[in-house]
Structure 1
Amino acid sequence: MTINSINLVGRAGRDPEVRYFESGTIVANFTIAVNRRSRNEEPDWFNLEIWGKQAQVAADYVKKGSLLGITGSFKQDQWKDKNTGENKSKPVIRVDRLELLGSKKDSFNNGVSNNQSHINQQNPNDIPF
């Protein structure tokens, strides 16, 4: 039996880079920082790759600093450098499931939701009690 499953909770290190293909497929790439148990240590950084509907969710709602939960699998991207001809590689987490873990307040602060701003602008005389 073989298992290749990764679960991480962390914060987006940057806004997703999103690419749309002529076929209608979409891919989003960004990084996630996951804190270690000790606060004195630097976080671990992971490259994420998300395809399809989950990529559209990332494009619409994930911003730098968003708290996320992901489930995915490890893969090793490999390519040949065009300039040097050297073989290159980098570890990537292919995300199968993306969960937005931040609160509505976090979403508002990241510019995702404007419902709260509408509530704050109401006239105090309109309060029904």
Structure 2
Amino acid sequence: MKPRHVHRSEDCRAISEILQRVGDKWTVLVVGMLSNGPMRFSELRHAVGGISQKMLTTTLRGLERDGFVTRTVFPTIPPRVDYELTELGHQLQEPVNALADWARQNTLHINAARSRYDAASKQEG
């Protein structure tokens, strides 16, 4: 039998705050791209399809603030800026990859459940 965890409200707030950061779709994609090594902003924007410049900037600032990414500015003209995962960022890859694998493995089951639910909802309505 698994031990029960005692949930305290401060734990729930902390967990919720962190999950908001790491559960965001852009965060997952950016962390995935940076797992291959440092990238420039323009490379990231091109690699993460559909992300706007503003959203990439916001995502990278949040990841930097939370300690997942470092930002290095090189004094060139124009300035070159590289983004790289920190040790904490690399640790984040494991649960993010596990969640992505789980989603891939269960997509058919989830889609089937959605179809059943939608069909039943239509009949009720």
Instruction: With the length of structure 1 as denominator, give the TM-score of the two structures.
Output: 0.28
Specify which structure has the bigger relative contact order, considering alpha-carbon pairs within 8 angstroms and separated by 6 or more residues: 1
TM-score under structure 2 normalisation? 0.28
More helix, by proportion:
2
Normalized per residue, which structure has more strand? 1
